[in-house]
Amino acid sequence: MGQLSELQIKAAQPRDKEYMLSDGEGLYLRVRPNGKVWIYRYSQAREQAKLSLGSYPAVTLAMARRKARDEAEKRAGGIDPREARREQQERDRVARLNTFELTARAWHAQAQKDRQWSANYAEKVMRHLELHVFPWIGSLAMEAIKPTELVRCLHRIRDRGNLETAQRVREAVQHVFRERAAIPS
């Protein structure tokens, strides 16, 4: 690696058609009419594959080289970088959809039907979660929540002298986690 310099990159002007400048070892700067993008090119199972590494100047030459080296190391380890990126994006998507709040709301809707809660009780359970839990851990992925974070939520309630509410919130949170454990991943 190391054929391109910052001066060459800055001097590369857009043309009518896009073109590529090689830095070596699969790293290219794609110069488009609307900007410059770093590309890592490689062969995988007899086909050419491309992986975007980010836009220049947000991703500097040094950063692009580091990213290209990381992708080359993955390939050396037998991992297809495109597939690894797709899997990571899928894990991220699942984590975004598997937040405590979304899981708790799904549990609440099901529990309301299964246990035949009154409308007032169902509202009270949800209100407790909205006031005492969601602001602190609602946006976190279920797998990322640490027990100490839950304890802090309960201590906030207890410190205000609401022991019964703390107990009810603890029970609701336990049900949410049990429900999550019952769902196969």
10-residue mean pLDDT series, the chain (185 residues): 82 89 90 92 84 90 90 86 86 81 92 88 95 93 89 94 94 88 53
Domain chopping of the chain, boundaries: 6-79, 98-182
Q: What's the CATH architecture for 98-182?
A: Orthogonal Bundle (1.10)
Q: Sheet containing 35-44: which strands, arranged edge to edge?
A: 19-24, 27-32, 35-44, 47-56
> How far, in Å, are 46, 83, 103, 147 from residue 106 at the CA level?
46, 31, 5, 21
For the domain 6-79, what is the CATH superfamily, name and number?
Integrase, DNA-binding domain (3.30.160.390)
Provide DSSP, the chain.
Answer: -----HHHHHH----SS-EEEEEETTEEEEEETTEEEEEEEEEETTEEEEEEEEEETTS-HHHHHHHHHHHHHHHHTT--HHHHHHHHHHHHHHHHHSBHHHHHHHHHHHHHHHTT--HHHHHHHHHHHHHHTHHHHTTSBGGG--HHHHHHHHHHHHHTT-HHHHHHHHHHHHHHHHHHHHS--
Q: Which of 91, 81, 98, 90 is nearest to 140 (CA)?
A: 98
Note whether 143 and 95 are within 8 A (CB).
yes
What is the pTM for the complete model shown? Answer: 0.56
Q: What pLDDT score was predicted for residue 43? A: 84
- Report the phi/psi class of residue 45: left, alpha or beta, with left for phi > 0 and alpha for psi in -120 to 50: left
pLDDT for 125? 94
What's the confidence (pLDDT) of residue 185?
47
The whole-number pLDDT of residue 1 equals: 55
Q: How much is the pLDDT for 184?
A: 45
CB 171 within 8 A of CB 150: no
Distance from C-alpha of 184 to C-alpha of 43, rounded to nearest angstrom: 36
